[in-house]
Amino acid sequence: MRSVGVILWWLFSVSFVFSQIGESEWEALLDLSGRSEYTRFLQACQNMDFVLAEKTIARIFSKQPSNVVVLFSYLFVSQYEGFGIEPVEYGLYKNLLIYSKSVAQGKEGLSEALVRYVDNPRERLATLIEIESQLKYVNWLVRLEIIKEHVNRNKDYTAAMDKLSDLLTRYPRYPILHYYRLFFALKQRDWTAFDSYASSSLRLFPRHPEILRICAQAAFERKKTEEAIAFYERGFQANATWHADAFVELVKLYRDNKQTKKALEMAQKGRKLYPWKKELGILEQQLRFGL
């Protein structure tokens, strides 16, 4: 039986066009002297450049630490651990949730809904739906969060793909949307769909590290080890300081493929970049002592 959240998602995802809050009001909630910074934040998120996104939203947060749109956006980017950001359970995300409870008070309307988003993770899906229902336009950031939250709760990848396809029609050159389409196809192990999406995504973004990484993960799932290694190597050629988990994944592939020297070099480099990633230190010691 579908949950109330699932039913609400379908109802509100078609009702937002009849609502009364417009883009100007969303932006007004920012109340920033330089809104160009927030635009740069959104562009960084679209491109999955979460190092730049975190730095940008951190600057905005330092100016507007109790602004609900800033808190919402900061929580969004802090979910993406591994891009220089510490693990979710210990780092920025947890601290922001705790902080939000001390400042998110006395808000009304859309602000009140945003406050509930940052203040009560258990009601996140229903709250996101309510936020979108108050917007006259499709806010890709909110819609993507709805899709992800729906999948996390209900594992309904078919519905998620439908909603994601709608977003891609509106925003066809956002790498993050292409990434999630590949991610959902991978989760379903729908290799025909995955190969089709990968082909189109790689034509648009041939050097995007996260597009290459998800292709590498799919190749590994299909036991195509050499192809997986090649995708990872292309990703690191595009961005040598890439993602903490990408270091771990490639180190393991090198190790299992008897490329011990390359594995050790990658483990050492990754550990220096991401000292909080304990698995890299463990892998380095295992490789160093032949364990």
Query: Domain spans of the chain?
Result: 1-155
CA–CA–CA angle 225, 177, 30 (5° rounding):
135
- Count Cβ atoms within 10 A of the Cβ of residue 226 and give its class: 0-12 exposed, 13-18 middle, 19 or more buried: exposed
- Nearest Cα to 47, choosing from 189, 228, 175? 175
Say which residue, 137 or 47, is predicted with more confidence.
Answer: 47
CA–CA–CA angle 89, 81, 161 (5° rounding):
105
Segment 8-24, tens digit of pLDDT:
443 334 333 333 456 66
Segment 168-184, tens digit of pLDDT:
999 999 999 999 999 99
The predicted model gives 236-258 an average pLDDT of: 96
The pLDDT of residue 2 is: 41
Segment 28-43, tens digit of pLDDT:
777 776 678 999 999 9
Segment 178-218, tens digit of pLDDT:
999 999 999 999 999 999 999 999 999 999 999 999 999 99
DSSP 83: S
Lowest mean pLDDT among 80-84, 121-125, 242-246, 247-251: 121-125
Which residue, chain included where needed, has tokens 């979710």?
88
- Nearest Cα to 19, choosing from 133, 164, 161? 133
Output helix, strand, coil percentages for the chain, rounded to the nearest 5. Answer: 75, 0, 25
Whole-structure pTM over 0.85, yes or no?
yes
Share of the chain above pLDDT 90, in %: 61
Question: Does residue 69 have a pLDDT over 80?
Answer: yes
Contacts of residue 278, defined as CB under 8 A and 6 or more positions apart, other chains included, come to none
pLDDT band at 68 (very low <50, low <70, confident <90, very high): confident
- What is the spatial distance between Cα 115 and Cα 103, in angstroms, rounded to a whole number? 9
